[in-house]
């Protein structure tokens, strides 16, 4: 009868290997002030970026530097690979999936040349944010070293 009171927590997984850091500490006002949504950032250590949740890819930018996935539970998560990477005009990014694809957490989305990104972008730090927070009461964040698909956030 009151199933909405016992709503399950939703888990968000690391889209790559790396070190999870606080969003507030990165050098980008849009992300550090949570204007694009709340979440964490990852200092990436791997070239493959995957789906952080099960869902449908709602957006992959034409430059392949960012993508969003929306779950069946109306949780939308955006992964923005690096800072100011839109200026690279797609160089160093290879799309492995497409908008409209149904994906499971861990499915490959973008392959990057991480050395190129580190050499040519402002920073390789990758914000992972909940872009639609209308149904979010609390986010438990895991600031630690992670492997791809380790849990990085739990959302209530």
pLDDT values of the chain reduced to their tens digit, one per residue, 156 residues: 444 544 567 999 999 999 999 999 999 999 999 999 999 999 999 999 999 999 999 999 999 999 999 998 779 999 999 999 999 999 999 999 999 999 999 999 999 999 999 999 999 999 999 987 677 889 999 999 999 999 999 998
- Indicate the helix (H) or strand (E) that contains 119: helix 114-120
Residues involved in catalysis = 80
Residue 132: its pLDDT value, please? 79
pLDDT at 1: 43
Spell out the residues 6+ positions from residue 27 whose beta carbon is closer than 8 angstroms to its own: 83, 122, 123
CA distance linking residue 102 with residue 23, whole number of Å: 28
pLDDT at site 8: 66
Residues ≥6 apart with Cβ < 8 Å to 8: none
CB-CB neighbours of 86 under 10 Å: 16
5, exposed or middle or buried, with CB in 10 Å at 0-12, 13-18, 19+? exposed
pLDDT at 45: 97
Domains of the chain are 7-155 (2.70.70.10)
Confirm if 65 and 93 have CB atoms less than 8 A apart: yes
Token digits of residue 77: 């998560």
> Is 138 in a helix, a strand, or coil?
coil
Burial of 29 (0-12, 13-18, 19+ CB in 10 A): exposed
């Amino acid at each position: 009868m009151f199933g909405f009171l016992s709503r399950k927590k939703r888990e968000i997984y690391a889209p790559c290997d790396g070190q999870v850091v606080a969003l507030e500490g990165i050098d980008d006002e849009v992300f550090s002030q949570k204007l694009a949504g709340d979440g964490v950032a990852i200092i990436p250590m791997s070239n493959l970026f995957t789906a952080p949740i099960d869902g449908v890819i709602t957006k992959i930018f034409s430059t392949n530097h960012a993508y969003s996935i929306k779950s069946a539970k109306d949780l939308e998560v955006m992964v923005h690979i690096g800072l100011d990477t839109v200026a690279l005009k797609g160089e160093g990014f290879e799309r492995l999936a497409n908008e409209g694809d149904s994906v499971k957490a861990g499915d490959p989305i973008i392959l990057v040349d991480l050395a190129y990104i580190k050499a040519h972008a402002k920073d390789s730090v990758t914000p992972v944010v909940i872009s639609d927070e209308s149904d979010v009461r609390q986010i438990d964040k895991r600031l630690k070293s992670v492997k791809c698909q380790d849990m990085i956030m739990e959302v209530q």
